Structure 1
Amino acid sequence: MGKIGIIGGSGLYAIEGIRAVKRVSLTTPFGRPSDKYITGTLGGRQVVFLPRHGLGHRISPSEINYRANLYGMKKLGVDTLISVSACGSLREELRPLDFVIPDQFVDRTNQARGMTFFEKGIVAHISFAEPVCSELAKAVYEATAKTTARVHLGGTYLNMEGPAFSTKAESRLYRSWGMDIIGMTNMAEAKLAREMEVCYCTLAAVTDYDCWYQSEEAVTLEMVIANLNKNTHNAKNIIKTLIPLLGGRKTCGCASALKDAIVTDRKLIPKQVKEDLKIIIGKYIKA
C-alpha cells in the first residue's frame, strides 16, 4: 500500500496530528522542491506533506518547481495525492468558505511551467480526458460531507497565470466559458500526477467571488487571507477525516496511465533520461 501525499496551498503549511514526524530534504533531476517533505503517520496511514509555496509562502505560482515537488512525492512512495488549494468562485452558488472538488481543468497559464516529465529524448502522450481520479474525488467528497463544511462535487478549475488576480473582463470571460472556480496552481500538478501514475484530486477552498460579482468588492489579498484562515481549520479536519477512508482496493486506471503512452523507440531514449525517470517508467522501460 502506497503512501498518501498532501500538498498544502496558501495558508496550509502544516497538519497537526502527524506522528513519528521526519523532515526529508530531497534533490531531484528537476531541481529542488518547494521545501522539505514532512513524513509520518496520520489516521493509521503513512503520509507525506509538502507546502506548495514553501514555509513562509516564499514561492509564487509561476515560480513553483512542480516537477520537483511531484517527483519527490513519487520518490517517497506516494501513490495517492490530495492537493489543498485556495480558489476564487465564478458561480454565485459556490460561496466563499465552501469547498469544491473539481473534475476538470482548463489551462490559461502563459508559460510552460514544466508540466511534463517527458522531454529531452522521450515522448509520452497520456490520456487526460478525465484529469481527476474519480475514486479519490468521491472519497474526498464523503470525508468533507462528514464535517461542517459545505462541499460541491464536480466543476471546472481554470488555471490562470497569476500572481495578480483577474481583471473584471477576464473574470466575466471565464464565466461565459462555463468555468466554475479559478486558481493558479493545480493544472501542472494534475498532469504530472497522471504521468507518474498517481491518483490525484484537488480540494479547493473558496476564498472569494473573484471580481465579477457586482455586489462584492474587488478581490484583495486581505479578503483572500481572512477567508483562507477560516478555511484552513476545516481543510485540516477534512484531511484527518479522509485518511482512514483511503486504503481499499483501487479499481481506477491511474496506476496504468503510462501503459500505452510512451511512443519513443526504446533504443533511442537517452540512458540518462531512463535513469532520471526510472521511478516513473521503470516498470515499462529498463534503464
Structure 2
Amino acid sequence: MLGVIGGSGLYQVDDINILDEVNISTPYGEPSDRYIIAEYRGKKAVFLPRHGKGHKYPPHLINYRANIWGFRKLGVDRILSVSAVGGINPLLKPGDFVLSDQFIDFTKVRPVTFYEGVYTIYDETDGKDDLVSEYLKNNRVVHIDVTDPFCSSMRKTLSDILDEKGYRYHKKGTYIATEGPRLETSAEIKAFSILGADIVGMTLVPEIVLARELSMHFASINVVTNLAAGISGERLTSDEVIQMMKEKNDQIKEIILSFIEKVPEKPDCNCEDVLDGAAI
C-alpha cells in the first residue's frame, strides 16, 4: 500500500474517498497527526501531514521515526514524499518540479535510525516476520546501503506522469538536507552548490533513511518554491513558499491521484533487498 507524506490538504480531493482517520501509537512516540486512509479508483493510500495539521511541528522536531513506523503498522510499503525546496542549480525556476535521485545530509540532531544496538527499541506489537523484526528484536547493528537511495521504479512512474501532463520538471536532482528551522546563509548555499546540490530543504532526511531501513520503496517529488539564499538577491520569506505551494496545489493533487492509480504493486527494483547482509 502507498503512503503519502506532505501537506494537510493533499487528500482533500473530490475524487478521493476517505475511509478512516486513525491515531497510531508507536514505541518512538506520537506521529505528526492522524493517518488518513483513503481510496481512489479501487486503490488505497494513506496520507500523513508531515508537520501536523496547521503546521505545528518545525522540521527539526518532527518525529520522523514515529511517522515512518506508523506507516509500517498500517501495512504501507511504498512512500511518496512531497516537499517544498529552494533552488540552487541555476537551471531551476520557481514552480519547477524536481524528482530527487540523491541526497546530502547536513542535519545535526535528529534520530536517524531504528537500529541502535543495545539501545534498540523493539515494538512487541509489530507482529511481522521479516528482517526488520528480526534485527530489532535481536538488537542488531545495521548499516544500510544508500548508494541509490530513491526507488527507481517509483521515480519512473512519476516521470511518466509529469511527461504526460506536460509540467515543467527535472528528472534528477541532489537534495541537500539542512537542520533548520532557520534558512541558509548565502555562503552555505554557495558551498552546497560546490558540493553538487541542486535543491535545499529541511525534511527529506532522516525520512528517506528510516523508510529504507524498513525495506520500503521511497520517492520524492519537490516543488521549487523560491531561489535559495544569495541567488536572487532578494530576502527570503515563508510567504513566498506558502504562495508557490498554493499555486501548485492543483497540479500536485493531479500528480498524486495519477500516482496512486499507476504506481506498480510490485515495483521493478531491489529496494526490498536493502537489509540483506546489512546487519553485524
Common fold: TM-score over 0.5: yes
Task: Write the distance in 2 (CA, Å) between the matches of 1:37 and 1:243.
Answer: 16
Counterparts of residues 1-287 of structure 1 (less than 5 Å): 3-9=1-7, 12=9, 14-16=11-13, 17-111=15-109, 113-119=110-116, 120=119, 121-214=139-232, 216-263=233-280
Q: Provide structure 1 residue ranges, at least 5 long, that are not aligned to the other structure.
A: 264-287
Task: Write the distance in 2 (CA, Å) between the matches of 1:175 and 1:228.
Answer: 24
Q: How many residues align?
A: 258
Task: Write the distance in 2 (CA, Å) between the matches of 1:20 and 1:60.
Answer: 27
CA contact (8 A) 1:14 1:51 kept: no
CA contact (8 A) 1:8 1:14 kept: no
Residue type matched to 1:206 in 2? Answer: V
TM-score norm. by structure 1 comes to 0.86
CA deviation map 1:184-221 (0-9, x unaligned): 0102111011111010010001100012214x412211
CA shift in 2, pair 1:32/1:107, >3 Å: same
Residue type matched to 1:191 in 2? Answer: V
CA shift in 2, pair 1:27/1:41, >3 Å: same
Runs of 4+ residues over 3 Å off in structure 1 = 11-15
Residue 227 of structure 1: how far off its partner (Å): 0.9
CA contact (8 A) 1:31 1:65 kept: yes
TM-score norm. by structure 2 comes to 0.88
Task: Write the distance in 2 (CA, Å) between the matches of 1:224 and 1:218.
Answer: 12
Task: Write the distance in 1 (CA, Å) between the matches of 2:18 and 2:246.
Answer: 27
SS of structure 1 residue aligned to 2:94 = coil
Residue type matched to 1:30 in 2? Answer: Y
CA deviation map 1:109-161 (0-9, x unaligned): 121x1111101133111111111011111111111222242111111000011
Moved more, 25-34 or 136-145: 136-145
CA deviation map 1:85-115 (0-9, x unaligned): 000000121111110001001011121x111
Residue type matched to 2:112 in 1? Answer: M
Residue type matched to 2:154 in 1? Answer: L
Residue 248 of structure 1: how far off its partner (Å): 4.4
Which residue pairs with 2:136 in the alignment? none
Residue 177 of structure 1: how far off its partner (Å): 1.5
Task: Write the distance in 1 (CA, Å) between the matches of 2:180 and 2:9.
Answer: 19
Sequence identity of aligned pairs in percent? 38
